[in-house]
């Protein structure tokens, strides 16, 4: 395994796990009712965002190297219907989607990174496909965070450096020796 590609695969897996963690930490703060809150008719609830991620992940990462990432069995439009019944249902599907993604990523080798895969008949390298999905999922998890903050208002528990605490946070960081570690290692140590 070359160190460049090996580091890439390890890094990208950690980044996906980090966004999974942020989504879960957001949903953990919400009640069943809050999971299904929609600002208006055309807005997505937390459950809808999770449902869309689930559908996308199953389609993109099932049989990843061999079949088109837009599977014929996927019903993308149905992913935007607020029809799941409980927070528990959402969390079960959430885990199913992320497991599909992470298991596939963990099965990849350096030799796979330059292979061509297809999404809707558009070819791209495995690396480009991974980067595409990382950006896609991060944007949706960001929506989840924003929605969670709106719903919880003053009861929101910050998932990053709380406002007004940057100076203390940075001071503590700069008391440590320089080191090489992935930025996500901090939350895995908690």
Domains with residue ranges and CATH for the chain: 3-157 (1.20.120.450)
The H or E element spanning position 46 is helix 46-61
Structure token digits, residue 84: 């799941």
Neighbours of 104 (CB within 10 A): 17
3-class DSSP state of 116? strand
Q: What is the pTM of this model?
A: 0.91
> CA angle, 162 as apex, 23 and 25 as ends, to 5°?
20
Q: For 42-60, what is each residue's pLDDT tens digit? A: 999 999 999 999 999 999 9
Structure token digits, residue 35: 């999971």
Q: For 143-182, what is each residue's pLDDT tens digit? A: 999 999 999 999 999 998 888 889 988 888 889 888 887 7
Nearest-CA neighbor of 89 among 57, 48, 40? 48
Query: Which value, to the nearest 10 degrees, does the dihedral of the CA atoms of residues 159, 165, 169, 172 take?
Result: -140
Q: For 78-91, what is each residue's pLDDT tens digit? A: 999 989 989 999 99
Structure token digits, residue 148: 């969670």
The CA distance from 106 to 13, in Å, is 8
Contact call for residues 27 and 50 (beta carbons, < 8 A): yes
Contact call for residues 98 and 20 (beta carbons, < 8 A): yes
Backbone φ, ψ for residue 119 (5° rounding):
-130, 115
Please identify which residue in the block is written with the tokens 């297809």.
118
Query: For the chain, what's the residue count?
Result: 190
> pLDDT band at 5, cuts 50/70/90?
low
Q: For 117-142, what is each residue's pLDDT tens digit? A: 999 999 999 999 999 999 999 999 99
């Amino acid at each position: 395994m070359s160190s460049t590609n090996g580091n890439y695969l390890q890094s990208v897996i950690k980044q996906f796990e980090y966004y999974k963690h942020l989504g879960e930490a957001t949903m953990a703060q919400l009640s069943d009712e809050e999971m299904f809150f929609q600002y208006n008719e055309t807005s997505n609830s937390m459950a809808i965002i999770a449902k869309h991620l689930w559908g996308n992940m199953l389609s993109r990462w099932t049989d990843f190297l061999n079949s088109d990432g837009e599977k014929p069995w996927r019903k993308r439009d149905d992913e935007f219907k607020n029809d799941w019944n409980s927070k528990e249902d959402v969390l079960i599907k959430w885990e199913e989607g992320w497991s599909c993604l992470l298991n596939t990523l963990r099965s990849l080798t350096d030799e796979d990174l330059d292979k061509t895969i297809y999404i809707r008949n558009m070819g791209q390298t495995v690396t480009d496909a991974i980067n595409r999905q990382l950006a896609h999922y991060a944007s949706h998890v960001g929506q989840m965070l924003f929605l969670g903050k709106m719903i919880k208002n003053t009861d929101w528990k910050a998932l990053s450096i709380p406002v007004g605490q940057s100076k203390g946070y940075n001071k503590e960081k700069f008391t440590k020796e320089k080191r090489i570690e992935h930025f996500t290692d901090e939350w895995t140590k908690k």
